Amino acid sequence: MLSSSQGKLVRNGEEKKSVIWIEGNIASGKTTCLEYFSKTSDIEVLTEPVSKWRNVQGCNPLGLMYQDPSRWGLTLQTYVQLTMLDRHVLPMACTSPTEPLKGHGGGKKSSTPVRMMERSIYSAKYIFAENLYKSGKMPEVDFAVLSEWFEWIIKNIAIPVDLIVYLQTSPQTCYERLKQRCREEEKVIPLEYLESIHNLYEDWLIHHKSFEVPAPVLVIPADHDLKKMLHQYEENREKILMAHC
Ligand code: TTP
Ligand code: MG
């Protein structure tokens, strides 16, 4: 049940939780980061609904968007916005307090449940929709309609966040990882696309030049190999999981 609290719709009877968003360019390693924490700590992890973007009732809006962004950009971004909102308002699972598993750092216990999410409705709008519009691939009317939806949502529905973890990569690194993982729809992505996404992220989360940043940002350099990345996650475990303190 949704009820109104301080002008925004929130869920009844939900206890306070700490919410962490993992942000970064395409193929920056967000899913790997989430998987690492889901395996090594007792937190709730929500991966991105990318499988839905590739298959909604038998259609593939992600693939269509890459084939013809001007025609299908709004279709994809509307659906991304819906699926991300659905994630943001999902009632908290009954996880026990955060306690790293044996052998994975000694962080303090927290009495607040922790949710970690891949991306957010904010980056879908401030990075991807913005990029489509700015590059001339989304018609003004499409961008206006999407923007009005977005503004209504963030004004009227509580989207909690306590910390943004920004996996900062070079576009070149993402390009190489993208080629390696070979997701069918993404084969058409040129390096320049990843550079545009990168620049929008930097303007938003590092230079604070573009849009509101809704929580403190922890920057983790993410050009390294997997071993070094896992080491960095371990080093930052406490800072990340104690985000609400
Ligand atoms: P990502 O959200 O970057 O997810 P990923 O799994 O590729 O990243 P990582 O390897 O770091 O886990 O993107 C998934 C795909 O969806 C990618 O092709 C970009 C696309 N996308 C959009 O086109 N619009 C959007 O608003 C979002 C959020 C993603
Ligand atoms: Mg991912």
Note whether 29 and 229 are within 8 A (CB).
yes
What's the mean per-residue pLDDT of the chain? 88
Q: Which residue has its alpha carbon closest to ligand 1 atom 13? A: 26
Mean pLDDT for the stretch of residues 221-225: 97
For 130, the domain range is 2-241
The residue among 2 and 35 whose pLDDT is bigger is 35
* Cβ–ligand 1 contact at 186 (below 6 Å): yes
The model's confidence at residue 61, banded by pLDDT at 50, 70 and 90, is very high
Q: Is the dihedral of CA 122, 125, 130, 132 positive or negative?
A: positive
Least confident range of 38-47, 79-88, 154-163, 198-207: 38-47
pLDDT at 47 (0 to 100): 85
Strands 8-11 and 2-5: antiparallel
Give the ligand whose atoms come closest to the C-alpha of residue 120: 1
pLDDT at 108 (0 to 100): 37
Tens digits of residue pLDDT in 79-129:
999 999 999 999 876 544 433 333 333 333 445 689 999 999 999 999 999
Number of separate domains in the chain: 1
Note whether 74 and 114 are within 8 A (CB).
no
pLDDT at 14 (0 to 100): 55
The residue among 152 and 15 whose pLDDT is bigger is 152
* Cβ–ligand 1 contact at 31 (below 6 Å): yes
Write out the E strands in 91-162. Answer: 114-118
* Cβ–ligand 1 contact at 87 (below 6 Å): no
Question: For residues 245 and 241, what is the distance between their CA atoms, to the nearest angstrom?
Answer: 9
- Which CATH number is 231's domain given? 3.40.50.300
